[in-house]
């Protein structure tokens, strides 16, 4: 995906005024743009490294770091909100000459994808929403733990425990790698400023009005783990009700 020493660092382009790090692979007429989640220390590489090569066999794949995450710029005066991230993504499309793309949004990334699709429906082909935010729900203990993360190996271990269905899937080695990722310069500082307590307000701030979601014409695939402790299954059930052209797949023994 990249020739740099650090595989999580790809190319840089200015997207809506923000220097944005993004990974790119594959080619073809159809583009897929991947929007990562909001876990501590997350990068597009950490979120999508296993998915990009598979998708790149058929599509041009773009995976950016949202502002405040990963190796994109962290302007001092930036307002971290769903509109900022949506505008950054559309700006990335403009900068790369992408007139239309399919969007895959993971969790917080699903809320961004919904906002883009409702505001720029003509720029979107298909949607995939994975354990997505974007509609109201009472904040879960798991999401409180994720957004309230304070940097330590033990706290990262606890975060990964709520992400995965089984601890066998998230060993100490992975926790150490993700912890070290979360303490790179600037990472924790920006992350801790995004979702301060009380955090229910940030769940609501990530929502798109239901009447706008109901108007979406796009073919949509909604995916959710039945045992998700971070974003409740009810959010995907609601999205499937709202989006006329949507299918929902729920996976057993599956977390976030």
The catalytic residue positions are 107, 228, 256
How far is Cα 128 from Cα 112, in angstroms, rounded to an integer?
12
**Measured CA angle at 250 (ends 145, 138), to 5 deg:** 35
What's the 3-state SS for 46-111?
Answer: HHHCCCHHHHCCCCEEEEECCCCCCCCCCCCCCCCCHHHHHHHHHHHHHHCCCCCEEEEEECHHHH
Residue with tokens 């959710």: 224
How far is Cα 56 from Cα 34, in angstroms, rounded to an integer?
12
Q: Is 54 left (phi over 0), alpha (psi -120 to 50) or beta?
A: alpha
The pair of structure tokens assigned to 197 is: 């307590």
Q: Indicate the helix (H) or strand (E) that contains 224.
A: strand 219-225
């Amino acid at each position: 995906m990249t020739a740099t020493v650090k595989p999580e660092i790809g190319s840089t382009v200015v997207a809506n005024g923000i220097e944005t790090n993004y990974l790119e692979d594959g080619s073809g007429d159809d583009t897929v743009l991947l929007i990562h989640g909001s876990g501590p220390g997350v990068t597009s590489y950490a979120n999508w490294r296993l998915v990009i090569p598979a998708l790149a066999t058929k599509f041009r794949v773009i995976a950016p770091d949202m502002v405040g995450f990963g190796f994109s710029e962290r302007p001092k005066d930036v307002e971290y909100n769903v509109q900022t991230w949506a505008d950054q993504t559309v700006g990335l499309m403009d900068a790369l000459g992408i007139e239309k793309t399919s969007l895959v949004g993971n969790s917080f990334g699903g809320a961004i994808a919904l906002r883009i699709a409702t505001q720029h429906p003509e720029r979107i082909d298909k949607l995939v929403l994975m354990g997505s935010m974007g509609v109201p729900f009472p904040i879960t203990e798991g999401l409180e733990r994720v957004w309230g993360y304070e940097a330590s190996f033990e706290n990262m271990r606890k975060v990964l425990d709520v992400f995965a269905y089984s601890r066998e899937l998230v060993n100490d080695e992975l926790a150490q790698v993700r912890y070290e990722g979360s303490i790179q310069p600037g990472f924790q500082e920006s992350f801790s400023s995004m979702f301060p307590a009380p955090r229910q307000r940030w769940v609501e701030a990530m929502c798109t009005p239901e009447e706008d979601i109901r108007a979406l014409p796009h073919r949509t695939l909604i995916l959710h783990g039945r045992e998700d402790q971070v974003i409740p299954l009810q959010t995907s059930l609601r999205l499937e009700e709202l989006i006329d052209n949507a299918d929902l797949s729920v996976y057993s023994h599956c977390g976030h």
